[in-house]
Structure 1
Amino acid sequence: MVPLKRRKVLSSHTGNTGNTGNECKFPGLVLFLLERKMGTSRRVFLSELGKKKGFRVEDEFSESVTHVISENNSGDEVIAWLDSQVKGRGLVHLLDVSWYTESMRAGLPVDIQHRHKLQQQQTEEAETETFSVPSYACQRRTTLENHNSVLTDALSLLAENAELSEEEGRSVAFRRAAAVLKCLPAAVTDMTQLRGLPCLGDHSLRVIKDVLENGASSEVEATKNSERFKALKVLTSIFGVGAKTADRWFRDGIQTLTQLRGSGHTLNRAQQAGLDHYDDIIQPVSRAEAEAVREIVERAVLSVLPGAQISLTGGFRRGKPTGHDVDFLITHPEEGREEGLMSKVVCWLETQGFLLYQKTTRNSYLEAKDGPARPASNMDRFERCLTIFRLSKEEEKKKGGAELTETLTENLQTAPLCSSSRVQQGGDREEGGKPWRAVRVDLVVSPISQFGFALLGWTGSKLFERELRRWAGHEKSMSLSSHALYDNKQSRYLRATTEEEIFAHLGLEYVPPSERNA
């Protein structure tokens, strides 16, 4: 081993946070190694090597950085990343890691040659519009106006197929790529417009290129027409059926609802209810129907707990005109008053014949002093009830509200027990004319102390929420859930009563619900 040389410690240089314990020989240079495509372990190794050689290497990017070192990234990709980090940044050298390794061998900064500089794509056609977006979906504003629906539909189908095959990594990659295209202000017409954009992997780019050049992707068309995809899509559309169950049925030769009904397979309560009401549940729920359900839920909640608050969440809160279900978040301004509410609400709804199916789970969330434990799944632990509502059609919705409320109150007072069997019998009597439809409705109860986090989590979109958690963990060393936000560096919970406060804790500009459609 080569013996280490003694170095004089230069105490005159301040602010050298990247070289604690090492002499800073080149104070005019502030280096930052980009982890993207380099990897964490290699970045840590190279950073420590640079510090030992007397270079000032920063662990976090700041406006003081003069040289950005990257590996396997184009200049456009690095610029896009920089733009997502700092607004109004100054000029910096964008260099390949080869300059860094050569400087390490020389023990001093080598002259920057053309081969060291990251190349940016030169576009000859000035009229070709190029795009630049931040890396995380939670930094972007995505409305319902999608200028690239043909491209995003193709990527979303491949994401869905990956989900059905339980390949979560591939599914998320396609979802992230589609989310980037959804937020663009104009249609993509040429692949050059995508240079430097984040989250567009090689596979996604091949699909996009195929669609732009041929009008459709051969891979997407093949997937769409495959027997397995078509069968699993139908089977997983049954309420209560997941990818594993659907795949098992498919391997047993079941591809249609008719085959499932005649197969003799034992179904649980949720699956049987989903099969019984399949035709209704697969139909989109309109905003008018969602508002009709809201009236019923509000009547139920306020009848058993005056002063409670009910919020319509999910896609409808983001401004979508239709949805596959209706989600409600319920709380009370006085902490603790919400306890025991769900069972009373469900009893009220069952007694009045509004529920075709319901399953309630208790609140299992406990706040640990040393921070939240890693949950078994991404699902939160609020008290919730997954239901299938029996919603009257338009002619029944027009009945007088006061008269209906009076009748329901009388029924509630004379009904000591909740009986789902009575509800089902009532439903059977109306089945011939069927002046109602089945609608999927989820009810969630949150303590007021967690309501801001619950509202954020239940508003979605699913990818937007995933990206919020990823940002919190990777960029802020925090843990975010629908219950709380925990700062791992400070070892404390960060309290918030509104979504705006949560965004502020995360160092993000507030994004309203209508712009979270990632």
Structure 2
Amino acid sequence: MFPTALPTRKRRRPEVAFVGGREEVKFRDVTLFLVERRMGKSRRNFLSNLARSKGFCVDDALSADVTHVVSEGNAAQELWSWLEEQGFRETRDKHVLHISWFTESMSAGRPVPVEIRHYIQNPVVEQRSCAHPSATPESAVSQYACQRRTTLDNHNKIFTDALEVLAENLEFCGNLGQSLAFRRAASVLKSLPAALRHLQETQRLPCLGEHSRAIIEEIFECGSSSRVEEILNDERYRTMKLFSSVFGVGPKTSENWFFRGLRTFEQVLSEPSIRLNRMQTAGFLFYEDISNPVSRTEASALKILVEEAVICVNPSATVSITGGFSRGKEFGHDVDFIIKTPEAGQEDVILPAVIERFKSQNILLYSDFQESTFDLRQLPTHCFEAMDHFSKCFLIIKLKREQETDARAGRDWRAVRVDLVAPPLERFAYALLGWTGSTAVRSTPSSTHQL
């Protein structure tokens, strides 16, 4: 008999590990730590060895010496929660970066400058500041935007412009939470009766987090923010800002066009694979008109047009202008109106009737009517989205030019954007307050909750 063959045990392959001390460290002011979560142990070892072979110092543990944390495939909230559990704290000399910075550095054979696009921002830092505003009794600035008296004279424009660039860039990146935090900070600064003279004056102000104060401090010291300058010179930001200036084109579409290599309107319009929807088509067709600001005089003329149409449909209904013009602004990018109907249920039918009236007058260039999806059973809610469920329509209408004719277009009118909202009668006061406020007010859950 032949002896029974014993099953051979599969020999475990030894881990490929790097033995330190073999490579010369060329960049002693940079210490990397690669996060193993999502990346995997084998890939982490490979990338660590690659970095060491190029003269980088790589720490296998998240020690105090680490200056650059590199992550791949981790959601920002998940990553930062894990880092904080490990005792990691964000400071100016420590960077939490996307793997793209690492790959660019490996290709260059040196640490490339850290740009805004490389950062993985902590999504809760700014929110913490707003959730726990200054409790100093001497502070005269309310944490609630609706309780702050804000004039049209912005004494801190150098700071608010910088914060709004950061907010817009974060919005383009899909980080709406932190974008809102910067907008809140800018809103607080706009409400101040005088210009800031030194950084210490921000200590008692609500909704100014660590990042906002760092930007303000740098502007005090240097006259500008290097981070903001990076954004303004960033091709992605500039391209997305251009594309999103078109009516109907949002951040996602702008980003899609950017990653397809498109940089100009001409390239978008000549790209055969792009199919514009109705709103985008109107946006490009009337771009020159609707990208120019609407004056207060033009807003008053539009109110007359809207009131005539509304009264023709329902003589008992009233029209209120909202948005920036109701706050005293001289110019705006569109004009918002809220229509108040005297009886419950009339709000569901008045907007389609107004649209038909504009059509019969041959002044309607574009319309997008959205029926009410408001559900009283869903209240109370902490989100402004509750108001977004009211019946509304987005229009582009002809406004006759009284003094001049557009010779190039061969017409005596300009296209103007108009938004109409028709809330239920019992919700009119809330809607009027909500749409009178700025973007920061309309986007602040706490302010809506106070309604």
> Which TM-score tier does this pair reach, normalised by the shorter chain?
0.5 to 0.7
Contact preservation (8 Å) 2:156, 2:189: yes
What aligned pairs does 1:84-483 form with structure 2 within 5 A after superposition? 132-264=140-272, 265-368=274-377, 371-372=379-380, 377=385, 380-395=388-403, 432-467=409-444, 469-471=445-447, 479=449
* CA shift in 2, pair 1:142/1:365, >3 Å: same
Give unmatched runs, 5+ long, in structure 2. 1-130
Q: 2:338 is paired with a residue of what secondary structure?
A: strand
Contact preservation (8 Å) 1:363, 1:382: yes
Measured after TM superposition, the shift of residue 267 of structure 1 is: 0.3
Could you tell me how far apart the structure 2 residues matched to 1:471 and 1:376 are? 9
Q: 2:168 is paired with a residue of what secondary structure?
A: helix
The letter for the 1-side match of 2:135 is W
Higher relative CO (Cα under 8 Å, sequence separation at least 6) belongs to: 1
The letter for the 2-side match of 1:445 is A
TM-score normalised by structure 1 residue count: 0.58
Q: 1:238 is paired with a residue of what secondary structure?
A: coil
Could you tell me how far apart the structure 1 residues matched to 2:447 and 2:324 are? 22
Could you tell me how far apart the structure 2 residues matched to 1:245 and 1:378 are? 25
Structure 1 partner of 2:70: none
The letter for the 2-side match of 1:336 is G
The letter for the 2-side match of 1:270 is M
Contact preservation (8 Å) 1:327, 1:443: yes
Could you tell me how far apart the structure 2 residues matched to 1:373 and 1:180 are? 25
Contact preservation (8 Å) 2:434, 2:441: no
Could you tell me how far apart the structure 2 residues matched to 1:376 and 1:146 are? 26
Could you tell me how far apart the structure 1 residues matched to 2:180 and 2:403 are? 43
Give unmatched runs, 5+ long, in structure 1. 1-76, 85-130, 398-426, 473-478, 481-501, 503-518
Could you tell me how far apart the structure 2 residues matched to 1:378 and 1:237 are? 26
Contact preservation (8 Å) 1:140, 1:183: yes
- Aligned residue pairs total 320
Could you tell me how far apart the structure 2 residues matched to 1:388 and 1:78 are? 42
Q: 1:147 is paired with a residue of what secondary structure?
A: coil
Could you tell me how far apart the structure 1 residues matched to 2:257 and 2:217 are? 36
Deviates most, 213-222 or 377-386: 377-386
Q: 1:211 is paired with a residue of what secondary structure?
A: helix
Could you tell me how far apart the structure 2 residues matched to 1:393 and 1:269 are? 26
Could you tell me how far apart the structure 1 residues matched to 2:362 and 2:292 are? 22
Could you tell me how far apart the structure 1 residues matched to 2:327 and 2:409 are? 37
Contact preservation (8 Å) 2:401, 2:412: yes
Could you tell me how far apart the structure 2 residues matched to 1:462 and 1:273 are? 24
Could you tell me how far apart the structure 2 residues matched to 1:156 and 1:274 are? 24
The letter for the 2-side match of 1:439 is V
Contact preservation (8 Å) 2:240, 2:255: yes
Could you tell me how far apart the structure 2 residues matched to 1:311 and 1:181 are? 29
Contact preservation (8 Å) 2:133, 2:143: no
For residues 85-110 of structure 1, the C-alpha deviation after alignment (integer angstroms, 9 at most, x for no partner) is xxxxxxxxxxxxxxxxxxxxxxxxxx
TM-score normalised by structure 2 residue count: 0.66
Q: 2:267 is paired with a residue of what secondary structure?
A: helix
Measured after TM superposition, the shift of residue 136 of structure 1 is: 2.7
The alignment's C-alpha RMSD in Å is 2.6
Contact preservation (8 Å) 1:81, 1:134: no
Percentage of matched positions with identical amino acids: 45
Could you tell me how far apart the structure 2 residues matched to 1:376 and 1:317 are? 20
The letter for the 2-side match of 1:83 is P
The letter for the 1-side match of 2:152 is L
Measured after TM superposition, the shift of residue 446 of structure 1 is: 2.2
Q: 1:299 is paired with a residue of what secondary structure?
A: helix
Q: 2:137 is paired with a residue of what secondary structure?
A: helix
* CA shift in 2, pair 1:379/1:274, >3 Å: farther
Q: 1:384 is paired with a residue of what secondary structure?
A: strand
